Amino acid sequence: MTTELDEALLRSLTPNVLGILVRRGADFASAEDAVQEALIEAVRVWPGDRPDDPKGWLVTVAWRKFLGMARSDAARRRREDLVDDEPAPGPAPAVDDTLQLYFLCAHPSLTPSSAVALTLRAVGGLTTRQIAQAYLVPEATMAQRISRAKRTVSGVRFDQAGDVSTVLRVLYLVFNEGYSGDVDLAAEAIRLTRRLFASIDHPEVAGLLALMLLHHARRAARTAADGELVPLADQDRGVWDTRLIADGVEILQAALARDRLGEFQAQAAIAALHADARTAAETDWVQIVEWYDELARLTGSPVVRLNRAVAVGEADGPRAGLAALAELDDSLPRYAAVAAYLHERDGDLETAARLYGEAAGKAADLAERAHLTRQAARLRK
């Protein structure tokens, strides 16, 4: 077995092992530390002597690590009754506590950034260094963030019901980070969402997974060789991943058939309509506007209404899009970029160039800023 395959196996076993320790009586923070120590031991030992029961091996080693920490910490003497109660060696329990870990790591008492970091560590099995590299922060900073998050949830009962919508928002935050360092967070978010999809029967979990797959299918076409952003209308649809699109559409259709519409299903439906169009000109903008109407009803989000204005401009003409845009607050992120696009479509190139420049000045993402600057320069010529 290769080192890469061992790493994938370790990451897949991490939440199960952690869940078993918590159910045996370990607090979450200490259990997570013990599991990380066991993973380090596995990386050292397995290449030369891989166990027949990897999960059982990890549980045994992690439990011993936990007991060692309990013995050495005078402040935790209340757990001494556990020291003499080490379970006998043997196959690990078949219970999968992954779902409860999702809920715990997305606890409402955590900030979004802490919830994301803890999810990647406890459920995803990533190291602190990998997470820090992915988020472009110092490892010490990420270690402090994870440590605070673990302390926050340590007193939470493991059998409490969790909020699915909070878990989904955390996973969507991970997905939207995309890629940096040596960890592909978009792919990691899809992996974790697939695991959640296998653990819980919920249409919005299916909706989020479908949305991720449909967006990820277009990834290769989103940037040019020089790193320049490529707008959806200009993307080479021949490089879109048709397997991911088919998978996403199938999952979405099954979710929609249950008639329990949620925002992720509505977003996925919009993404599916874009994926279904063989060319940009064949996009069914009328139906996309209808889905944005549903999404706005579900969320009340002004950002959704901003995106709806673009769709209205495509379906009914730029004047209609500008009228829809005029109903919104012009301080919204990307408002100026949308206004620039619609004014360009309407033939007012001078206003469009000014607005593209204004939008570029407000863009936080460097690639987006460069794209908007080029659009302004193009029109000023």
Count of Cβ atoms closer than 10 Å to residue 239 Cβ: 12
The CA distances from residue 76 to 22, 81, 298, in Å, are: 16, 11, 48
For the segment 151-177, what is each residue's pLDDT rounded down to a tens digit? Answer: 888 877 766 667 888 899 999 988 988
Q: Which of 157, 22, 158, 173 is nearest to 111 (CA)?
A: 173
pTM of the model: 0.81
CA 340 – CA 87 distance, rounded (Å): 66
CA 230 – CA 223 distance, rounded (Å): 5
Question: Ranked by mean pLDDT, which of 24-28, 101-105, 316-320 comes out on top?
Answer: 316-320
Compute the residue count for the chain.
381
**CA angle, corner 195, sides to 153 and 139, nearest 5?**
50
Stretch among 62-76, 83-97, 275-289 having the lowest mean pLDDT:
83-97
CA 231 – CA 80 distance, rounded (Å): 61
Q: What is the pLDDT of residue 207?
A: 98
Which residue would you say has higher pLDDT here, 117 or 90?
117
Reply yes or no on whether the pLDDT at 48 is more than 90. no
Which residue would you say has higher pLDDT here, 295 or 173?
295
Please list the residues that pair with 184 across neighbouring strands: 179
Task: Give the pLDDT band of residue 327 (cuts 50, 70, 90).
Answer: very high
Is 182 exposed, middle or buried (CB count within 10 Å of its CB: 0-12, 13-18, 19+)? exposed
For the segment 78-104, what is each residue's pLDDT rounded down to a tens digit? Answer: 544 444 444 444 454 444 567 788 888
Count of Cβ atoms closer than 10 Å to residue 40 Cβ: 14
Tokens representing residue 310 in the block: 């673009």
Where exactly are the structural domains of the chain? 1-95, 97-200, 201-380
Q: What is the pLDDT of residue 1?
A: 41
Q: Which of 172, 249, 178 is nearest to 210 (CA)?
A: 249
Reply yes or no on whether the pLDDT at 145 is more than 50. yes
Percent of the chain's residues with pLDDT above 90: 54
Which residue would you say has higher pLDDT here, 293 or 188?
293
**To which residue do tokens 């607090």 refer?**
27
The CA distances from residue 129 to 39, 143, 159, 182, in Å, are: 14, 8, 30, 10
Q: Would you tell me which CATH number, out of the four given (1.25.40.10, 3.90.1580.10, 3.30.1240.10, 1.10.3720.10), belongs to the domain 201-380?
A: 1.25.40.10
Average per-residue pLDDT in the chain? 87
Task: Give the pLDDT band of residue 113 (cuts 50, 70, 90).
Answer: confident
Output the CA torsion 237→334→180→41 (10° steps).
-110
CA 312 – CA 12 distance, rounded (Å): 44
For the segment 8-21, what is each residue's pLDDT rounded down to a tens digit? Answer: 788 888 888 888 88
Would you say 287 and 272 are in contact if contact means Cβ atoms under 8 Å apart?
Answer: no
Average pLDDT over residues 116-142: 87
The CA distances from residue 193 to 51, 208, 257, 262, 269, in Å, are: 29, 8, 20, 16, 18
